[in-house]
């Protein structure tokens, strides 16, 4: 038995691959295009591990997908591959359309053909799990109830619109063709291997080198924060027992304003790695102009996942954020390689310019 993971060198995907192989001997075929946010150093602990088969490639490459599916015969596909940074989608939406919409379409077409040709027992057992975001639901006011799976889609950025489109495609392939799909919509993830363009790692990294800690607008944008390893455990549970065609919201039950997050990170750094001058890190907080169309609040109601599949997050925000800050302090070389672009040198050394390499 084998699973195929797309986007498995990114933040959430690499955490999933690491957690999967820590708990199972079932091999993982890991397909990742290795754009700027794909980092094989996240998976360096798997070097030489025959259970991890890495392939550098694009989910939009139909010929490559057909070959991989034929050769490895996976029982399940987990689609993490996506462009995911809202700011980048505002300044350059085309990459998001290409990967999140067209890429998902080509992946679904390849998977449909593969699944359709499977023997009856393998066909019945097969699963396609699509990993998405709470941002497809739009924005909430302070008094609105949290997003449930029945909320209508109201995406407000090119990123969330492209993810909404991919969700709709996955749903359509289930209802039109019978493809056995599952979809998860998660809240804001945080934890190890998070690319430092996102809020929490950016604060940790900037604080240590004396740079400003930029906070959009008034810093009162509220998000529900989910420790990435809890997200991985939820995905495993949905893959194992989720009802076909259903969507499951995955959240951490941790609604907090961005400014509170920044203050928490600063306080932990004051404790774990104090500034040389003895001053608090919060002095580096700088308010910057809010980004266009910035959603005010996201909140996930994860009761369906809890009640139907028995999943709950293991971490509170307090335990998860402490582990996260400590991880970044313990991995200065990983941070340095990301900031310098050195992680890309590793890829070029091992793979050169070849987009279809495997180890």
Q: How far apart are CA 209 and CA 201, in angstroms?
A: 13
Query: CA 54, CA 29: separation in Å to the nearest integer?
Result: 6
Q: Compute CA distances 103 → 12, 134, 285, whole Å.
A: 18, 20, 38
Of 159, 298, 328, 343, catalytic: 159
Pick the catalytic residue from 58, 61, 83, 135: 135
Catalytic residue among 58, 61, 83, 134: 134
CA distance 224 to 255: 4
Closest by CA to 187, choosing from 267, 98, 251, is 251
State yes or no: is 134 an active-site residue: yes
Spatial CA neighbour of 135 closest among 298, 2, 316: 298
24 phi and psi angles, rounded to 5 deg: -145, 150
The DSSP secondary structure of 10-62, one letter per residue, reads SHHHHHHHHHHHHH----EEEEE---TT--GGGGGGGTT-TTEEEEE--TT-H
User: Of 262, 312, 314, 308, which Cα lies nearest the Cα of 283?
Assistant: 262
List, by residue number, the catalytic residues: 134-135, 159
């Amino acid at each position: 038995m084998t699973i195929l993971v797309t986007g498995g060198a990114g933040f959430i995907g690499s955490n999933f691959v690491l957690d999967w192989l820590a708990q199972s001997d079932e091999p993982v075929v890991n397909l990742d295009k290795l754009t700027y946010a794909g980092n094989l150093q996240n998976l360096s602990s798997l070097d030489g591990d025959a259970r991890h088969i890495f392939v550098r490639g694009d989910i939009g490459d139909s010929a490559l997908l057909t070959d991989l599916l034929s050769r490895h015969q996976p029982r399940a596909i987990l689609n993490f591959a996506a462009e995911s940074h809202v700011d980048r989608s505002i300044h350059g939406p085309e990459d998001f359309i290409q990967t999140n919409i067209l890429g998902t379409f080509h992946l679904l077409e390849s998977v449909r053909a593969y699944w359709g040709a499977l023997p009856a027992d393998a066909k019945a057992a097969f699963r396609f799990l699509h990993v998405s975001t709470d941002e497809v639901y739009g924005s909430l006011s302070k008094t609105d109830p949290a997003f449930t799976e029945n909320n209508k889609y109201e995406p407000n950025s090119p990123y969330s619109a492209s993810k909404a489109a991919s969700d709709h495609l996955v749903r359509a392939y289930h209802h039109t063709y019978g493809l056995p799909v599952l979809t998860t919509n998660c809240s804001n993830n945080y934890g190890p291997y998070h690319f430092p363009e996102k809020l929490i790692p950016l604060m940790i990294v900037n604080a240590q080198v004396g740079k400003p800690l930029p906070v959009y607008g008034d810093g009162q944008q509220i998000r529900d924060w989910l420790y990435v390893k809890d997200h991985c455990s939820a995905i495993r549970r949905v893959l194992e027992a989720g009802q076909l065609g259903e969507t499951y919201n995955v959240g951490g039950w941790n609604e907090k304003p961005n400014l509170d997050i920044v203050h928490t990170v600063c306080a932990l750094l004051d404790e774990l790695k104090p500034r040389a001058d003895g001053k608090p890190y919060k002095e580096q907080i700088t308010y910057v102009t809010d980004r266009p169309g910035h959603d005010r609040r996201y909140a996930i109601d994860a009761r369906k996942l809890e009640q139907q599949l028995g999943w709950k997050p293991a971490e509170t925000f307090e335990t998860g954020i402490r582990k996260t800050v400590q991880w970044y302090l313990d991995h200065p070389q990983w941070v340095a390689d990301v900031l310098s672009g050195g992680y890309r040198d590793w890829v070029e050394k091992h793979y050169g310019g070849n987009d279809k390499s495997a180890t």
